[in-house]
């Protein structure tokens, strides 16, 4: 019996790690199962087929060799170019080569992942019977649903650009349209589109298109973003949005949940995002950072969570099963969307490649600063998360059910505030009055009930106003001074910010506090004087060195 030569090939472990390796002895000629593996690798994430190699029970490989490797290589090229054998040739000369291992020849076939426009790659003439994919168990024959999804993705036009000619604009929720337009106007106050009628505005952003009948009809993107849920499921029967928050004990399935089928809201993608984003960021610390005299309240982690939910929506196959699910718990966040990855996992993580399934939706959201258009979305998410939580983010596919999952675990860590400060846009324009103070302020915002503080301030102001009645919207600050200040609710909010800031026995002066609340020093001194009169803080020292502390 000939000695078995254990195969040592420099890329074996790289392929084996993702179950992207298949060994075939090929002693009787080119095996027909080679094309099962070729199809599976091409339709999943690529892989390597070894001819003249066997696999032991312990999964180690040994070389049996090929009698005539050159002839088998020619046979392979003839077959891979035969459309009756395989639907597309993805191979190049550099991907097909003969290796000699201790005097025995083997053939190495490195099959690339097929571009989505070439999928499905199938064996024989019928994609329903010859399309394979790769999972942890090996090659498996795809279902008709999986094959149909690949054909949908192969289209050159964006999936959500489809014009739904059997629908009219009554499928849209007017409240959602007005909410979107308000956000758009806040971001682009001088944009010419703000003066357009709703019908024309929706056409400009891609939510509608003109039909052959001369009327506007929703696009698939428009229906998903602005439609009522009961209208959306007419086109997308499997459509479902689900946010789950389970931060308590394991005995409860969730402490908060939002689903598109509840019937008490529109159920569309825009309203879902605007309901969910505040919940995703509700427990995150916000460092005390100033740009000029204004506080920056949108840290990098908030931005990448918005990016993550936008990314899930614009890459979702809303025709697919199981819907879009977002889970928040004490271990972090998980974003899961139907559909497979349209670019390789490695390319998605490295960035620079953008191929959204719903390109029109991405355009509509990017107009209100949601979503990246340069292919850096996943890359940004991973970089920021790793930097701030010191725990790697993950992205993976569930093959068979066609599902992409992005996991952002916190590893039991809290945000590294100093690390996060390094990630702000244009850091040269920012000021950090005191990093230690910033950390304390961020902690206070989580631990202090600002609403309760505002109630206390309001009650105390009411007592003062009974003694010194208001004139219009003005509040008497001192017996001798009646400054022209904003309305009462704005004042109360600013006063509460000061109390929150000082609530950890921080002793501070009017200069720092004016930066905190974004008001001039003179107005800030008036606020501080009022808080002293209300009995909530104390002033120490003379005018030039005066500081304030919680009473």
CATH classification at residue 497: 1.10.10.10
pLDDT number for residue 154: 87
pLDDT number for residue 437: 47
How big is the CA angle at 318 (ends 325 and 264), to the nearest 5 degrees?
60
Tens of pLDDT, residue by residue over 274-305, are: 999 999 988 888 777 776 656 677 788 988 99
For residues 321 and 203, membership in a common domain is answered with yes
Q: What is the share, in percent, of the chain residues with pLDDT greater than 90?
A: 46
Domain membership flag for residue 205: yes
Q: What is the CATH number of the domain that holds 211?
A: 3.30.565.60
For residues 107 and 144, membership in a common domain is answered with yes
For residues 178 and 54, membership in a common domain is answered with no
Domain membership flag for residue 471: yes
The pLDDT of residue 271 is above 50? yes
For residues 332 and 470, membership in a common domain is answered with no
Tens of pLDDT, residue by residue over 444-503, are: 444 556 777 888 888 888 777 665 554 433 444 443 333 444 467 778 888 888 888 787
Sheet holding 290-291, edge to edge: 294-295, 290-291, 430-431
Domain membership flag for residue 421: no
For residues 147 and 280, membership in a common domain is answered with no
Q: Which residue, 153, 187, 211, sits at the end of a domain?
A: 153
Q: Which residues span the domain enclosing 110?
A: 5-153
The pLDDT of residue 431 is above 50? yes
Round the average pLDDT of the chain to a whole number and report it.
84
Q: State the pLDDT confidence band at 20, using cuts at 50, 70 and 90.
A: confident
For residues 316 and 390, membership in a common domain is answered with yes
The tally of CA atoms less than 13 A away on the side-chain side of residue 297 is 10
Domain membership flag for residue 159: no
For residues 229 and 263, membership in a common domain is answered with yes
Q: State the pLDDT confidence band at 325, using cuts at 50, 70 and 90.
A: very high
Domain membership flag for residue 226: yes
Residues in the chain: 551
pLDDT number for residue 515: 73
Domain membership flag for residue 440: no
End-to-end CA distance of the chain: give it in Å, rounded: 92
For residues 360 and 326, membership in a common domain is answered with yes
The pLDDT of residue 226 is above 80? yes
Mean pLDDT value of segment 420-435: 71
CA distance linking residue 255 with residue 500, whole number of Å = 27
Mean pLDDT value of segment 349-374: 82
For CA atoms 232, 235, 239, 241, give the dihedral sign. Answer: negative
The pLDDT of residue 387 is above 70? yes
For residues 50 and 112, membership in a common domain is answered with yes
The pLDDT of residue 46 is above 50? yes
**Shortest CA distance to 450 belongs to which of 490, 489, 497?**
497
Residue 143 Cα distances to 39, 120, 150, 262, angstroms:
14, 12, 11, 31
Domain membership flag for residue 137: yes
For residues 250 and 207, membership in a common domain is answered with yes
The pLDDT of residue 54 is above 50? yes
For residues 142 and 175, membership in a common domain is answered with no
Q: State the pLDDT confidence band at 235, using cuts at 50, 70 and 90.
A: very high
How much is the CA Rg of the chain, to the nearest whole Å? 31
CA distance linking residue 456 with residue 385, whole number of Å = 38
Q: Which residue, 128, 153, 178, sits at the end of a domain?
A: 153
Tokens matching residue 524: 């800030």
The total of structural domains in the chain comes to: 3
For residues 227 and 323, membership in a common domain is answered with yes
pTM attached to this predicted model: 0.69
Least confident of 316-330, 352-366, 446-460, 508-522: 446-460
Domain membership flag for residue 429: no
């Amino acid at each position: 019996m000939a000695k078995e030569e254990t195969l040592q090939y420099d890329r074996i472990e790289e392929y084996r790690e993702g179950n992207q390796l298949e060994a075939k002895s090929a002693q009787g000629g080119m095996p027909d199962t080679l094309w099962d593996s070729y199809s599976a690798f091409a339709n999943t994430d690529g892989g390597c087929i070894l001819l003249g190699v066997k696999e032991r029970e312990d999964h180690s490989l040994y070389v049996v060799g090929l009698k005539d490797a050159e002839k088998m290589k020619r046979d392979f090229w003839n077959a891979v170019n035969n459309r009756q054998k395989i639907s597309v040739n993805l191979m190049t000369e550099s991907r097909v080569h003969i290796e000699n291992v201790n005097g025995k020849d083997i053939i190495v076939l490195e099959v690339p992942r097929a571009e989505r426009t070439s999928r499905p790659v199938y064996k024989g003439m019928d994609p329903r019977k010859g399309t394979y994919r790769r999972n942890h168990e090996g090659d498996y024959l795809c279902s008709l649903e999986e094959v149909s999804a690949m054909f949908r993705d192969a289209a050159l036009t964006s999936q959500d650009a489809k014009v739904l000619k059997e629908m009219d604009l009554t499928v849209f929720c007017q409240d959602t349209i007005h909410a979107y337009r308000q956000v758009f106007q806040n971001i682009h106050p001088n944009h010419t589109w703000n003066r357009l009628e709703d019908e024309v505005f929706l056409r400009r952003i891609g939510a509608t298109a003109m039909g052959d009948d001369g009327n506007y009809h929703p696009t698939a993107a428009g229906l998903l973003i602005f439609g009522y849920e009961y209208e959306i499921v007419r086109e997308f029967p499997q459509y479902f949005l689900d946010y789950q928050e389970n931060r308590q004990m394991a005995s409860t399935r969730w402490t908060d949940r939002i689903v598109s089928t509840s019937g008490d809201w529109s159920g569309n993608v825009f309203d879902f995002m605007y309901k969910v984003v505040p919940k995703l960021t509700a427990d995150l610390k916000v460092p005390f950072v100033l740009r000029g005299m204004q506080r920056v309240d949108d840290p990098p982690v908030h931005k990448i969570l918005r990016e993550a939910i936008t990314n899930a929506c614009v890459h979702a196959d809303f025709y697919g099963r199981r819907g879009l699910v977002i889970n928040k718990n004490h271990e972090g966040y998980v974003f899961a969307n139907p559909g497979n990855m349209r670019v390789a996992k490695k390319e998605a993580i490295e960035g620079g490649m953008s191929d959204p399934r719903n390109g029109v939706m991405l355009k509509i959201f990017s107009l209100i600063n949601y979503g990246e258009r340069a292919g850096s979305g996943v890359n940004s998410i991973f970089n920021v998360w790793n930097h701030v939580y010191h725990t790697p983010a993950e992205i993976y596919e569930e093959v068979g059910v066609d599902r992409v999952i992005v996991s952002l675990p916190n590893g039991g860590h809290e945000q590294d505030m100093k690390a996060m400060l390094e990630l702000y846009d244009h850091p040269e324009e920012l000021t950090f009055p005191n990093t230690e103070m910033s950390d304390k302020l961020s902690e206070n915002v989580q631990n202090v009930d600002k609403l309760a503080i505002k109630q206390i301030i309001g009650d105390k102001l009411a007592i003062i106003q009974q003694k010194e009645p208001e004139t219009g919207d003005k509040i008497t600050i001192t017996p001798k001074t009646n400054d022209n200040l904003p309305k009462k609710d704005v004042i109360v909010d600013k006063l509460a910010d000061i109390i929150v800031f000082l609530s950890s026995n921080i002793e501070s002066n009017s200069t720092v506090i004016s930066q905190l609340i974004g008001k001039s020093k003179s107005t800030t001194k008036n606020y501080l004087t009022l808080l002293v009169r209300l009995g909530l803080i104390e002033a120490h020292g003379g005018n030039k060195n005066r500081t304030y502390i919680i009473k």
